[in-house]
Structure 1
Amino acid sequence: MQNLIQVAGIKDRREAQMLLKIGVDWLGFPFRLPVHKEDISEAAAAAIIASLEPPHAGVLITYLADPREILQLCQKLGTGKVQLHGEIALSQLHQLKEIAPQLFVIKSLIVKPGNFAHLRSQVKQFGSLVDAFITDTHDPRTGADGATGKTHDWSVSRRLVAISSRPIILAGGLNPANVRSAILQVRPAGVDVHTGVEDASGRKDARKAAAFVAEARAAFTLAGSSEWASR
Protein backbone atom coordinates (compact mmCIF):
# COMPACT_ATOMS: atom_id res chain seq x y z
CA MET A 1 0.00 0.00 0.00
CA GLN A 2 1.22 3.51 -0.80
CA ASN A 3 1.88 5.99 1.98
CA LEU A 4 -1.14 6.38 4.22
CA ILE A 5 -3.64 9.24 4.08
CA GLN A 6 -6.22 9.23 6.87
CA VAL A 7 -9.09 11.67 7.34
CA ALA A 8 -10.69 11.82 10.77
CA GLY A 9 -14.06 13.06 11.94
CA ILE A 10 -16.37 11.45 9.38
CA LYS A 11 -19.96 12.63 9.75
CA ASP A 12 -21.97 10.39 7.42
CA ARG A 13 -21.84 7.86 4.59
CA ARG A 14 -21.94 10.52 1.86
CA GLU A 15 -18.87 12.20 3.31
CA ALA A 16 -17.09 8.85 3.60
CA GLN A 17 -17.82 7.94 -0.03
CA MET A 18 -16.59 11.32 -1.24
CA LEU A 19 -13.29 10.92 0.61
CA LEU A 20 -12.70 7.39 -0.65
CA LYS A 21 -13.41 8.48 -4.21
CA ILE A 22 -10.69 11.14 -4.13
CA GLY A 23 -8.06 8.78 -2.75
CA VAL A 24 -8.21 8.73 1.05
CA ASP A 25 -7.08 5.40 2.52
CA TRP A 26 -8.42 5.24 6.08
CA LEU A 27 -11.35 6.95 7.76
CA GLY A 28 -11.06 7.90 11.43
CA PHE A 29 -14.01 7.79 13.82
CA PRO A 30 -13.43 9.52 17.19
CA PHE A 31 -15.45 8.12 20.11
CA ARG A 32 -15.42 8.38 23.92
CA LEU A 33 -13.77 11.78 23.93
CA PRO A 34 -13.10 13.99 26.99
CA VAL A 35 -13.04 17.25 25.01
CA HIS A 36 -14.58 17.08 21.53
CA LYS A 37 -18.10 15.98 20.72
CA GLU A 38 -18.63 12.90 18.60
CA ASP A 39 -19.36 13.45 14.90
CA ILE A 40 -21.54 10.41 14.27
CA SER A 41 -23.39 7.66 16.10
CA GLU A 42 -21.65 4.38 16.76
CA ALA A 43 -24.26 2.54 14.71
CA ALA A 44 -23.77 4.83 11.70
CA ALA A 45 -19.99 4.49 11.94
CA ALA A 46 -20.31 0.70 12.10
CA ALA A 47 -22.42 0.73 8.94
CA ILE A 48 -19.82 2.78 7.06
CA ILE A 49 -16.96 0.57 8.27
CA ALA A 50 -18.84 -2.55 7.20
CA SER A 51 -19.09 -1.16 3.67
CA LEU A 52 -15.34 -0.62 3.29
CA GLU A 53 -13.14 -2.97 1.29
CA PRO A 54 -9.34 -3.34 1.72
CA PRO A 55 -7.11 -1.44 1.57
CA HIS A 56 -9.66 1.05 2.85
CA ALA A 57 -10.43 0.80 6.56
CA GLY A 58 -12.17 2.50 9.43
CA VAL A 59 -10.14 3.40 12.51
CA LEU A 60 -11.50 3.89 16.01
CA ILE A 61 -9.93 7.00 17.56
CA THR A 62 -10.45 7.01 21.32
CA TYR A 63 -9.21 8.17 24.70
CA LEU A 64 -10.25 4.89 26.32
CA ALA A 65 -7.47 3.13 28.22
CA ASP A 66 -9.17 0.04 29.62
CA PRO A 67 -8.19 -2.86 27.31
CA ARG A 68 -11.55 -4.62 27.46
CA GLU A 69 -13.47 -1.41 26.81
CA ILE A 70 -11.24 -0.70 23.81
CA LEU A 71 -11.77 -4.19 22.41
CA GLN A 72 -15.53 -4.08 23.01
CA LEU A 73 -15.86 -0.77 21.16
CA CYS A 74 -13.73 -2.05 18.27
CA GLN A 75 -15.98 -5.09 18.03
CA LYS A 76 -19.10 -2.92 18.17
CA LEU A 77 -17.80 -0.80 15.30
CA GLY A 78 -16.48 -3.79 13.38
CA THR A 79 -12.95 -2.44 13.06
CA GLY A 80 -9.59 -4.09 13.59
CA LYS A 81 -7.72 -0.78 13.92
CA VAL A 82 -7.59 1.58 16.89
CA GLN A 83 -5.81 4.87 17.50
CA LEU A 84 -5.19 5.37 21.22
CA HIS A 85 -5.17 9.10 21.75
CA GLY A 86 -5.14 9.32 25.54
CA GLU A 87 -2.76 8.27 28.28
CA ILE A 88 -2.38 4.51 28.55
CA ALA A 89 -0.08 2.50 30.78
CA LEU A 90 2.43 0.01 29.46
CA SER A 91 0.64 -2.73 31.43
CA GLN A 92 -2.66 -1.84 29.76
CA LEU A 93 -1.10 -2.11 26.30
CA HIS A 94 0.38 -5.47 27.23
CA GLN A 95 -3.08 -6.64 28.25
CA LEU A 96 -4.67 -5.28 25.07
CA LYS A 97 -2.21 -7.21 22.92
CA GLU A 98 -2.86 -10.35 24.95
CA ILE A 99 -6.63 -10.25 24.51
CA ALA A 100 -6.57 -8.86 20.94
CA PRO A 101 -3.26 -9.84 19.27
CA GLN A 102 -4.57 -9.10 15.75
CA LEU A 103 -5.70 -5.56 16.63
CA PHE A 104 -3.74 -2.89 14.72
CA VAL A 105 -2.76 -0.37 17.39
CA ILE A 106 -1.68 3.23 16.75
CA LYS A 107 -0.33 5.11 19.77
CA SER A 108 -0.43 8.90 19.91
CA LEU A 109 2.62 11.00 20.67
CA ILE A 110 1.39 14.44 21.72
CA VAL A 111 3.99 17.11 21.01
CA LYS A 112 4.29 19.87 23.61
CA PRO A 113 7.07 22.42 24.13
CA GLY A 114 10.11 20.73 25.65
CA ASN A 115 8.74 17.16 25.83
CA PHE A 116 10.94 15.43 23.25
CA ALA A 117 12.71 13.35 25.90
CA HIS A 118 9.35 12.04 27.12
CA LEU A 119 8.24 11.19 23.58
CA ARG A 120 11.53 9.47 22.82
CA SER A 121 11.03 7.33 25.93
CA GLN A 122 7.51 6.43 24.80
CA VAL A 123 8.76 5.39 21.35
CA LYS A 124 11.24 3.03 22.97
CA GLN A 125 8.82 1.74 25.63
CA PHE A 126 5.80 1.16 23.44
CA GLY A 127 7.47 0.26 20.14
CA SER A 128 7.13 -3.50 20.58
CA LEU A 129 3.45 -3.23 21.54
CA VAL A 130 2.09 -0.97 18.79
CA ASP A 131 1.95 -1.12 15.01
CA ALA A 132 2.41 2.61 14.45
CA PHE A 133 2.63 5.98 16.18
CA ILE A 134 0.89 9.25 15.37
CA THR A 135 2.32 12.64 16.35
CA ASP A 136 -0.24 15.33 17.08
CA THR A 137 -0.68 18.75 18.68
CA HIS A 138 -1.73 19.74 22.20
CA ASP A 139 -3.82 22.88 22.60
CA PRO A 140 -3.18 24.32 26.10
CA ARG A 141 -6.17 26.64 25.78
CA THR A 142 -8.76 23.89 25.34
CA GLY A 143 -6.83 20.92 26.68
CA ALA A 144 -7.43 19.06 23.43
CA ASP A 145 -4.92 16.58 22.04
CA GLY A 146 -5.64 16.49 18.33
CA ALA A 147 -8.35 18.10 16.17
CA THR A 148 -6.88 21.44 17.24
CA GLY A 149 -6.27 22.88 13.79
CA LYS A 150 -2.78 23.78 15.01
CA THR A 151 0.63 22.53 13.93
CA HIS A 152 3.44 21.57 16.30
CA ASP A 153 7.22 21.68 16.02
CA TRP A 154 7.77 19.40 13.02
CA SER A 155 11.44 18.98 13.90
CA VAL A 156 10.29 16.96 16.92
CA SER A 157 8.27 14.64 14.69
CA ARG A 158 11.24 14.34 12.31
CA ARG A 159 13.50 13.26 15.17
CA LEU A 160 10.93 10.70 16.29
CA VAL A 161 10.69 9.30 12.76
CA ALA A 162 14.46 8.86 12.78
CA ILE A 163 14.48 6.76 15.96
CA SER A 164 11.21 4.85 15.71
CA SER A 165 11.09 1.19 14.78
CA ARG A 166 7.45 1.68 13.83
CA PRO A 167 5.84 3.84 11.12
CA ILE A 168 4.90 7.34 12.24
CA ILE A 169 1.84 9.20 10.99
CA LEU A 170 1.99 12.99 11.11
CA ALA A 171 -1.07 14.93 12.30
CA GLY A 172 -1.78 18.35 13.74
CA GLY A 173 -2.90 21.40 11.80
CA LEU A 174 -2.30 19.89 8.37
CA ASN A 175 -4.12 21.33 5.36
CA PRO A 176 -3.69 21.53 1.57
CA ALA A 177 -1.32 24.49 1.88
CA ASN A 178 1.18 22.94 4.28
CA VAL A 179 1.01 19.16 3.91
CA ARG A 180 3.66 19.05 1.17
CA SER A 181 6.26 20.93 3.23
CA ALA A 182 5.31 18.90 6.31
CA ILE A 183 5.96 15.59 4.55
CA LEU A 184 9.23 16.78 3.02
CA GLN A 185 10.47 17.96 6.41
CA VAL A 186 9.24 15.10 8.61
CA ARG A 187 9.30 12.12 6.16
CA PRO A 188 6.39 10.31 7.86
CA ALA A 189 4.86 7.04 6.71
CA GLY A 190 1.47 8.71 6.55
CA VAL A 191 -0.53 11.84 7.29
CA ASP A 192 -3.79 12.48 9.10
CA VAL A 193 -6.09 15.45 8.69
CA HIS A 194 -9.30 16.47 10.45
CA THR A 195 -10.23 20.15 10.56
CA GLY A 196 -7.83 21.12 7.76
CA VAL A 197 -10.18 19.88 5.04
CA GLU A 198 -13.43 21.16 6.53
CA ASP A 199 -15.63 24.05 5.45
CA ALA A 200 -17.09 26.72 7.73
CA SER A 201 -19.91 24.39 8.78
CA GLY A 202 -17.51 21.69 9.93
CA ARG A 203 -18.18 19.29 7.07
CA LYS A 204 -15.46 17.84 4.86
CA ASP A 205 -15.01 19.97 1.76
CA ALA A 206 -14.46 17.96 -1.44
CA ARG A 207 -12.16 20.53 -3.07
CA LYS A 208 -10.01 20.92 0.04
CA ALA A 209 -9.82 17.17 0.56
CA ALA A 210 -8.88 16.54 -3.08
CA ALA A 211 -6.18 19.21 -2.92
CA PHE A 212 -4.86 17.70 0.31
CA VAL A 213 -4.63 14.23 -1.23
CA ALA A 214 -2.93 15.56 -4.37
CA GLU A 215 -0.37 17.57 -2.38
CA ALA A 216 0.32 14.66 -0.02
CA ARG A 217 0.80 12.13 -2.81
CA ALA A 218 3.13 14.50 -4.67
CA ALA A 219 5.17 15.08 -1.53
CA PHE A 220 5.47 11.37 -0.76
CA THR A 221 6.78 10.83 -4.29
CA LEU A 222 9.32 13.64 -3.93
CA ALA A 223 10.40 12.35 -0.52
CA GLY A 224 10.91 8.87 -1.89
CA SER A 225 9.00 7.54 1.10
CA SER A 226 8.75 3.80 1.51
CA GLU A 227 5.34 2.22 1.17
CA TRP A 228 3.13 1.84 4.22
CA ALA A 229 3.29 -1.70 5.59
CA SER A 230 -0.26 -2.55 6.64
CA ARG A 231 -2.10 -5.63 7.75
Structure 2
Amino acid sequence: MGEALMLARCGVSYVGLPLRLPVHRPDVTDEEARAIVAALAGSGAQAVLITYLSDAEEALALCRYLGVSGLQLHGNMPLAHAARLRAAAPELFVIKSLVIGTAPEADILAQAQAHAPLVDAFLTDTFDPASGASGATGKVHDWAVSARLARALPRPLILAGGLDADNVAEAIRTVQPGGVDAHTGLEDTQGRKDEALLRRFVTQARAAFAALGAAGLAKDCDSA
Protein backbone atom coordinates (compact mmCIF):
# COMPACT_ATOMS: atom_id res chain seq x y z
CA MET A 1 0.00 0.00 0.00
CA GLY A 2 2.87 2.32 0.76
CA GLU A 3 4.18 1.79 -2.74
CA ALA A 4 0.84 2.80 -4.27
CA LEU A 5 0.81 6.02 -2.25
CA MET A 6 4.39 6.72 -3.31
CA LEU A 7 3.29 6.41 -6.94
CA ALA A 8 0.56 8.97 -6.31
CA ARG A 9 3.02 11.35 -4.62
CA CYS A 10 5.31 11.09 -7.63
CA GLY A 11 2.54 12.30 -9.93
CA VAL A 12 1.38 9.06 -11.54
CA SER A 13 -2.14 9.42 -12.96
CA TYR A 14 -3.15 5.75 -12.84
CA VAL A 15 -2.00 2.88 -10.63
CA GLY A 16 -2.48 -0.55 -12.21
CA LEU A 17 -3.41 -3.59 -10.14
CA PRO A 18 -2.76 -6.83 -12.09
CA LEU A 19 -5.08 -9.71 -11.13
CA ARG A 20 -6.22 -12.94 -12.82
CA LEU A 21 -3.00 -13.35 -14.82
CA PRO A 22 -2.10 -16.39 -16.98
CA VAL A 23 1.70 -15.96 -16.81
CA HIS A 24 2.80 -13.64 -14.00
CA ARG A 25 1.90 -14.34 -10.38
CA PRO A 26 -0.23 -11.56 -8.84
CA ASP A 27 1.70 -9.43 -6.36
CA VAL A 28 -1.37 -8.76 -4.23
CA THR A 29 -4.54 -10.58 -3.23
CA ASP A 30 -8.00 -9.29 -4.09
CA GLU A 31 -8.37 -8.08 -0.50
CA GLU A 32 -5.03 -6.26 -0.56
CA ALA A 33 -5.91 -4.66 -3.91
CA ARG A 34 -9.21 -3.46 -2.48
CA ALA A 35 -7.36 -1.83 0.43
CA ILE A 36 -4.97 -0.12 -2.00
CA VAL A 37 -7.89 1.31 -3.98
CA ALA A 38 -9.41 2.70 -0.78
CA ALA A 39 -6.07 4.19 0.27
CA LEU A 40 -5.70 5.97 -3.09
CA ALA A 41 -8.99 7.86 -2.68
CA GLY A 42 -8.26 11.58 -2.79
CA SER A 43 -4.61 11.05 -3.73
CA GLY A 44 -4.96 12.27 -7.31
CA ALA A 45 -4.17 8.83 -8.73
CA GLN A 46 -6.88 6.45 -9.94
CA ALA A 47 -6.76 2.67 -9.61
CA VAL A 48 -7.06 0.47 -12.69
CA LEU A 49 -7.66 -3.28 -12.65
CA ILE A 50 -5.38 -5.02 -15.17
CA THR A 51 -6.77 -8.44 -16.05
CA TYR A 52 -6.97 -11.21 -18.64
CA LEU A 53 -10.58 -12.01 -17.74
CA SER A 54 -12.67 -12.49 -20.88
CA ASP A 55 -16.13 -12.69 -19.32
CA ALA A 56 -17.83 -9.31 -18.97
CA GLU A 57 -19.79 -10.16 -15.84
CA GLU A 58 -16.77 -11.66 -14.08
CA ALA A 59 -14.61 -8.64 -14.92
CA LEU A 60 -17.28 -6.18 -13.81
CA ALA A 61 -17.88 -8.06 -10.56
CA LEU A 62 -14.17 -7.85 -9.72
CA CYS A 63 -14.09 -4.13 -10.61
CA ARG A 64 -17.01 -3.45 -8.30
CA TYR A 65 -15.52 -5.50 -5.47
CA LEU A 66 -12.22 -3.62 -5.73
CA GLY A 67 -13.84 -0.21 -6.23
CA VAL A 68 -11.67 0.72 -9.21
CA SER A 69 -12.62 3.43 -11.70
CA GLY A 70 -10.69 1.87 -14.59
CA LEU A 71 -10.28 -1.52 -16.24
CA GLN A 72 -7.47 -2.62 -18.56
CA LEU A 73 -8.47 -5.59 -20.72
CA HIS A 74 -5.20 -7.37 -21.36
CA GLY A 75 -6.70 -10.59 -22.69
CA ASN A 76 -9.05 -11.46 -25.53
CA MET A 77 -12.50 -10.43 -24.37
CA PRO A 78 -14.98 -11.12 -27.20
CA LEU A 79 -16.69 -8.11 -28.72
CA ALA A 80 -20.08 -9.23 -27.43
CA HIS A 81 -18.73 -9.28 -23.88
CA ALA A 82 -17.02 -5.90 -24.36
CA ALA A 83 -20.37 -4.50 -25.48
CA ARG A 84 -22.11 -5.94 -22.41
CA LEU A 85 -19.42 -4.46 -20.19
CA ARG A 86 -19.82 -1.02 -21.77
CA ALA A 87 -23.60 -1.14 -21.44
CA ALA A 88 -23.49 -2.28 -17.81
CA ALA A 89 -20.80 0.18 -16.67
CA PRO A 90 -20.61 3.25 -18.94
CA GLU A 91 -18.79 5.13 -16.16
CA LEU A 92 -15.86 2.69 -16.14
CA PHE A 93 -12.71 3.91 -17.94
CA VAL A 94 -11.89 0.92 -20.17
CA ILE A 95 -8.46 0.43 -21.75
CA LYS A 96 -7.98 -2.26 -24.41
CA SER A 97 -4.45 -3.68 -24.67
CA LEU A 98 -2.93 -4.28 -28.10
CA VAL A 99 0.07 -6.57 -27.79
CA ILE A 100 2.61 -5.92 -30.53
CA GLY A 101 4.19 -9.09 -31.88
CA THR A 102 1.23 -11.42 -31.44
CA ALA A 103 -0.32 -10.76 -34.86
CA PRO A 104 0.30 -8.80 -38.08
CA GLU A 105 -0.10 -5.04 -37.70
CA ALA A 106 -3.15 -4.99 -39.99
CA ASP A 107 -4.90 -7.54 -37.78
CA ILE A 108 -4.10 -5.55 -34.63
CA LEU A 109 -5.50 -2.40 -36.24
CA ALA A 110 -8.67 -4.22 -37.31
CA GLN A 111 -9.13 -5.58 -33.78
CA ALA A 112 -8.67 -2.10 -32.33
CA GLN A 113 -11.10 -0.48 -34.75
CA ALA A 114 -13.74 -3.06 -33.85
CA HIS A 115 -13.29 -2.34 -30.14
CA ALA A 116 -13.04 1.46 -30.49
CA PRO A 117 -16.74 2.22 -29.83
CA LEU A 118 -16.59 0.12 -26.66
CA VAL A 119 -13.44 1.43 -24.96
CA ASP A 120 -11.97 4.76 -23.86
CA ALA A 121 -8.31 4.17 -24.73
CA PHE A 122 -5.86 1.65 -26.13
CA LEU A 123 -2.51 0.51 -24.77
CA THR A 124 0.27 -1.02 -26.85
CA ASP A 125 2.57 -3.47 -25.08
CA THR A 126 5.27 -6.01 -25.94
CA PHE A 127 4.98 -9.77 -26.49
CA ASP A 128 7.95 -11.87 -25.37
CA PRO A 129 8.03 -15.17 -27.31
CA ALA A 130 10.64 -16.59 -24.94
CA SER A 131 8.39 -16.40 -21.88
CA GLY A 132 4.99 -16.14 -23.55
CA ALA A 133 4.32 -12.97 -21.56
CA SER A 134 2.21 -10.18 -23.05
CA GLY A 135 3.39 -7.22 -21.03
CA ALA A 136 5.66 -6.79 -17.99
CA THR A 137 8.49 -8.05 -20.19
CA GLY A 138 10.87 -5.12 -19.72
CA LYS A 139 11.27 -5.06 -23.50
CA VAL A 140 10.39 -2.39 -26.04
CA HIS A 141 8.60 -3.17 -29.29
CA ASP A 142 8.75 -1.41 -32.65
CA TRP A 143 7.62 2.11 -31.77
CA ALA A 144 6.86 2.79 -35.43
CA VAL A 145 3.94 0.35 -35.16
CA SER A 146 2.56 2.15 -32.12
CA ALA A 147 3.03 5.51 -33.86
CA ARG A 148 0.95 4.35 -36.82
CA LEU A 149 -1.75 2.98 -34.52
CA ALA A 150 -1.81 6.24 -32.54
CA ARG A 151 -2.48 8.16 -35.76
CA ALA A 152 -5.07 5.69 -37.07
CA LEU A 153 -7.21 5.06 -33.99
CA PRO A 154 -10.08 7.29 -32.79
CA ARG A 155 -9.18 6.76 -29.13
CA PRO A 156 -6.07 7.84 -27.18
CA LEU A 157 -3.17 5.39 -27.22
CA ILE A 158 -1.05 4.69 -24.14
CA LEU A 159 2.44 3.42 -24.90
CA ALA A 160 3.90 0.62 -22.75
CA GLY A 161 6.68 -1.92 -23.09
CA GLY A 162 10.19 -1.49 -21.71
CA LEU A 163 9.81 2.19 -20.86
CA ASP A 164 12.06 3.77 -18.24
CA ALA A 165 13.38 7.18 -17.22
CA ASP A 166 16.07 7.05 -19.91
CA ASN A 167 13.91 6.28 -22.96
CA VAL A 168 10.46 7.69 -22.15
CA ALA A 169 11.12 11.13 -23.68
CA GLU A 170 12.32 9.62 -26.96
CA ALA A 171 9.35 7.25 -26.95
CA ILE A 172 6.90 10.15 -26.56
CA ARG A 173 8.57 12.14 -29.34
CA THR A 174 8.49 9.12 -31.65
CA VAL A 175 5.00 7.76 -30.98
CA GLN A 176 3.17 10.90 -29.77
CA PRO A 177 0.86 8.84 -27.55
CA GLY A 178 -1.84 10.04 -25.21
CA GLY A 179 0.02 8.58 -22.24
CA VAL A 180 2.81 6.26 -21.16
CA ASP A 181 2.91 3.18 -18.95
CA ALA A 182 5.89 1.72 -17.09
CA HIS A 183 6.43 -1.18 -14.73
CA THR A 184 9.68 -3.16 -14.64
CA GLY A 185 11.74 -0.19 -15.85
CA LEU A 186 11.01 1.66 -12.61
CA GLU A 187 11.96 -1.11 -10.20
CA ASP A 188 15.08 -1.58 -8.09
CA THR A 189 17.06 -4.83 -7.88
CA GLN A 190 14.55 -6.22 -5.35
CA GLY A 191 11.62 -5.63 -7.69
CA ARG A 192 10.28 -2.65 -5.74
CA LYS A 193 9.43 0.71 -7.24
CA ASP A 194 12.35 3.12 -6.96
CA GLU A 195 11.17 6.62 -6.00
CA ALA A 196 14.09 8.38 -7.67
CA LEU A 197 13.46 6.52 -10.94
CA LEU A 198 9.74 7.25 -10.68
CA ARG A 199 10.24 10.97 -10.19
CA ARG A 200 12.72 11.14 -13.07
CA PHE A 201 10.33 9.18 -15.31
CA VAL A 202 7.41 11.50 -14.54
CA THR A 203 9.58 14.60 -15.03
CA GLN A 204 10.91 13.36 -18.36
CA ALA A 205 7.45 12.34 -19.55
CA ARG A 206 5.83 15.64 -18.61
CA ALA A 207 8.56 17.63 -20.33
CA ALA A 208 8.23 15.56 -23.50
CA PHE A 209 4.45 15.90 -23.55
CA ALA A 210 4.74 19.65 -22.92
CA ALA A 211 7.06 19.96 -25.90
CA LEU A 212 4.34 18.33 -28.01
CA GLY A 213 1.72 20.68 -26.57
CA ALA A 214 -0.06 17.80 -24.82
CA ALA A 215 -0.77 17.01 -21.17
CA GLY A 216 -0.33 13.24 -21.33
CA LEU A 217 -0.75 10.81 -18.47
CA ALA A 218 1.52 8.40 -16.64
CA LYS A 219 0.42 4.93 -15.59
CA ASP A 220 2.23 2.42 -13.44
CA CYS A 221 1.65 -1.08 -12.15
CA ASP A 222 1.67 -1.32 -8.37
CA SER A 223 2.95 -4.39 -6.59
CA ALA A 224 2.19 -3.76 -2.95
The percent of aligned pairs where both chains have the same amino acid is 49
**Per-residue displacement from partner, 1:127-159 (whole Å, max 9, x unpaired)?**
100000000000001111100000000000000
Rounded to whole Å, the distance in 2 between the matches of 1:143 and 1:113 is 10
1:215 and 2:215 correspond: no
Tell me the equivalent position of 2:166. Answer: 177
Letter in 1 for 2:84: Q
1:21 and 2:39 correspond: no
Rounded to whole Å, the distance in 2 between the matches of 1:201 and 1:86 is 28
Could you state the TM-score of these two structures normalised by the residue count of structure 2?
Answer: 0.93
Letter in 2 for 1:153: D
Letter in 2 for 1:29: L
1:129 and 2:118 correspond: yes
Residue of 13, 25, 31 corresponding to 2:19: 31
Tell me the equivalent position of 1:106. Answer: 95
**Per-residue displacement from partner, 1:50-76 (whole Å, max 9, x unpaired)?**
122274210000000100100110011
Instruction: Give me the CA root mean square deviation.
Output: 1.4
Rounded to whole Å, the distance in 2 between the matches of 1:105 and 1:22 is 24
1:69 and 2:53 correspond: no
Moved more, 105-114 or 139-148: 105-114
1:47 and 2:17 correspond: no
Tell me the equivalent position of 1:3. Answer: none
8 A contact 2:5–2:43 mirrored in 1: no
Rounded to whole Å, the distance in 2 between the matches of 1:113 and 1:84 is 16
Residue of 107, 117, 125 corresponding to 2:106: 117
Give, in angstroms, the shift of residue 225 of structure 1. 2.1
Letter in 2 for 1:109: L
1:148 and 2:137 correspond: yes
8 A contact 1:65–1:86 mirrored in 2: yes
Letter in 2 for 1:94: A
| Counterparts in 2 of 1:113 and 1:89: CA distance versus 1, 3 Å | closer
Letter in 2 for 1:76: Y
Moved more, 148-157 or 37-46: 37-46
Moved more, 98-107 or 192-201: 98-107
- Runs of 5+ in structure 2 lacking a partner? 218-224
Give, in angstroms, the shift of residue 119 of structure 1. 1.4
Rounded to whole Å, the distance in 1 between the matches of 2:34 and 2:102 is 37
Rounded to whole Å, the distance in 2 between the matches of 1:111 and 1:168 is 13
Give, in angstroms, the shift of residue 114 of structure 1. 6.4
Residue of 74, 79, 86 corresponding to 2:75: 86
- Runs of 5+ in structure 1 lacking a partner? 1-12
Give the match's secondary structure for 2:72: strand
Could you state the TM-score of these two structures normalised by the residue count of structure 1?
Answer: 0.90
